[in-house]
Amino acid sequence: MYLSRLQLDPRSKQARTDLASPYELHATLCHAFAGPNQTPARFLWRAEVGKIPIVLVQSAGMPDWEKLVQRFPGYFAQPPASKPIPLEHLQPAQVLRFRLRANPTVTKKDPNNPDSKKRKRHGLKTLEEQLEWLHRQGAKGGFSVLGAMVVQSERVRMYKHDGSGPIVLQSVLYEGHLKITDLEAFKHTLAAGLGHAKALGFGLLSIAKV
């Protein structure tokens, strides 16, 4: 796997458009992963909020960021930096720092139509529910949460390209420490991401040594 760090230039019209819309940003990033007439490979990404707009991108293969440079001149403030993620250094029972922006949800039946088989996904709003969701993800994903805090929690509106009504998602930024309990399952979790709405900038689990 590879991790890329992109610094977007706010003077670029395309960069401003992308930073204002996760749909647009994902579409732009796809250009670095698709060849002619090919479906782009899946990847995870997260926009880091701050004075300098940074986008982190995790992918199975090395992206071709030169395609974006050619398509959108001036898009990057600095040349993109990509490096392999050294998964071979991970060990069972290892303790790591982590950062995750996720869309924690629960699926429930429609209370207005209890006989229906259809189930609807609901964003988790309370701190207790959000932390419980993270612990459940860890139990399935090969790690235990040693300590975590919710740095940011907000409802965000996102608009599709077709101009249809907005999609409202619960965006939660977690930080804390985890312990690897199942190494192979944890590696799969790193590659696949956590939760839903991954194409919209959620699910990238970033780790670092303590």
Question: Which residues, in sequence order, are CB contacts of 84 under 8 Å at separation 6+?
Answer: 1, 2, 3
**Confidence bin at 55 (pLDDT 50/70/90):** very high
Where residue 21 sits, what CATH number does that domain have? Answer: 3.30.70.1200
20 with 71, same domain: the answer is yes
Cα-based distances in Å from 101 to 14, 65, 201, 202? 24, 24, 8, 5
**Confidence bin at 34 (pLDDT 50/70/90):** confident
Last residue in a domain, options 85, 120, 153: 85
pLDDT above 70: residue 161: no
Last residue in a domain, options 26, 53, 85: 85
Query: Domain range spanning residue 200?
Result: 88-209
DSSP 176: E
120 with 202, same domain: the answer is yes
129 with 50, same domain: the answer is no
**Confidence bin at 38 (pLDDT 50/70/90):** low
As a whole number, mean pLDDT of residues 94-104 equals 98
Where residue 147 sits, what CATH number does that domain have? Answer: 3.30.70.1210
As a whole number, mean pLDDT of residues 169-183 equals 97
Domain count, the chain: 2
Q: Is the pTM of this model over 0.85?
A: yes
110 with 202, same domain: the answer is yes
192/106 Cα distance (integer angstroms) = 19
* Residues linked to residue 112 through DSSP beta bridges, in sequence order: none
